[in-house]
Amino acid sequence: SRFLSTQFNSFSDWLHSRRHCDKDWQKNVIVIREKISDAVQDMPEDERIVALLQGSYINYFHCVRIVEILKETEINTKNFLGYYSSQRMSDWMNIKKMYEKGNVYLAEGAQILQRMVHYEIPALKKQISKNDQIILDCIKKERDNEKQMIDSKKQYEKELLKMGLKGIHLKKEILSLLNDLPAFLIEVAKSMSILADPLAYYEQFRKYIHQYKAPDCVLLPLCSMLIRKGPNVTAYEWKYGAEPLLIELPSLDIVPDENTESSVDNEIDFGDDSVNADNEINYRDDDLKIEVIEDEKGVVSDGVARDLDALTILENPETRRLIYFELKEVILFEDFFFPLTRSLFIPAYA
């Protein structure tokens, strides 16, 4: 192995010592490269030539292959003496002869072979090893994902069982749970009644700390409103300080009814019934009264609770979050002043 490696490393020197090629062969290669650069500017449209010239260093063996292809594409330029009148063929034949003169192609081939053995082939081996490792990692990751998929499915089925769902029509089943929500919120509101005394004590404590000079504001306003008015108080009332004249609850009908069929009558109603004989449109607004409500801060509202404002303060995400923080405030107050006697129980919900 060492003998072959040594002979290979000195292959170029061996060619020079045996006078197979000149030592200044690289000067001739520079001239040949210039000829090749000019010749590739005029090439026939052939897929084989395009494949040869695409992204590769053109050497003697490429030139031999190009000449063979040109013998087929330039056959019409061949005369009865066997010579070609095509400039393309003439250029590449001259390049081939320049390579063969002084065995320049042997020296260049030895250099290419030596570079491939020393650099390109080891790099390819390294890349192959890296790709093999990537394949093994992908196989391992695939197994882990399959295991995670099985665990996730078991967890999903466990959650369905916990929520009492079958998982067949998941959206409908989840929406059906909303039927139990009002009763749950009523129970939560009832449990809030035990906070009446702690809230009163908290208020008196604040007044005492500030020597009865504290700013006139309501502590824990949402909890106080919930205790005072019950679970049906809306976020609109908390926001504007007045009960809404009309409540427009947001639609929860997000699952289409499969049994609903489109109406056969596709006629367009242009509202002709509202047009009088005098060509005056009756908007039926004679009995319409508009009442504008303004809260204490000067914010004007039309008195209609819409979207999230139409929900109760226990249903509205923003107010529910604030209630949670108010309850945490009460717990911290109690834990700070009564660390040994904790008698207050607050249901944990968010």
For the chain, which residues make up each domain, given as ranges? 1-125, 170-249+303-344
Q: Which two tokens stand for residue 135?
A: 């394949």
Q: Decide: helix, strand or coil at residue 289.
A: coil
**In angstroms, rounded to a whole number, what is the distance separating the alpha carbons of residues 159 and 161?**
5
Do 323 and 314 form a contact (C-beta atoms < 8 A)? yes
Of residues 61, 60, 62, 59, the one with CA closest to residue 50 = 62
DSSP string computed for 144-212 = HHHHHHHHHHHHHHHHHHHHT--SSSHHHHHHHGGGGHHHHHHHHHHHGGGGHHHHHHHHHHHHHHTTT
**In angstroms, rounded to a whole number, what is the distance separating the alpha carbons of residues 299 and 309?**
15
Do 316 and 331 form a contact (C-beta atoms < 8 A)? no
Sign of the torsion formed by the C-alpha atoms of 150, 152, 154 and 156: negative
The structure's pTM equals 0.42
**In angstroms, rounded to a whole number, what is the distance separating the alpha carbons of residues 302 and 233?**
18
Q: What residues contact residue 334 under an 8 Å CB cut-off, 6+ apart? A: 198, 342, 344
Q: What residues contact residue 124 under an 8 Å CB cut-off, 6+ apart? A: none
Tokens 């009460």 appear where? 330
**In angstroms, rounded to a whole number, what is the distance separating the alpha carbons of residues 97 and 325?**
91
Residue 271: CB atoms within 10 A of its CB come to 8
| Alpha carbon distances (Å) from 227 to 64, 132, 185, 299, 333 | 97, 68, 13, 26, 19
- Phi-psi category of 341—alpha, beta or left, where left has phi over 0 and alpha has psi -120 to 50? beta
Q: How confident is the prediction along the chain (350 residues), in pLDDT tens digits per residue?
A: 344 344 656 666 667 666 677 777 778 888 888 888 888 888 888 788 888 777 667 888 888 888 888 888 877 777 777 777 788 888 888 888 888 887 888 888 888 888 888 888 899 999 999 999 999 999 999 999 999 999 999 999 999 888 888 888 888 888 888 777 788 888 888 888 888 888 888 788 777 777 777 667 777 888 888 888 888 888 888 888 888 888 888 776 555 445 544 444 445 454 555 444 444 445 454 554 545 445 554 555 678 888 888 888 888 889 889 988 888 888 887 777 655 334 444 443 33
**In angstroms, rounded to a whole number, what is the distance separating the alpha carbons of residues 169 and 332?**
43
Beta partners for residue 293, in sequence order:
301
Q: Decide: helix, strand or coil at residue 21.
A: coil
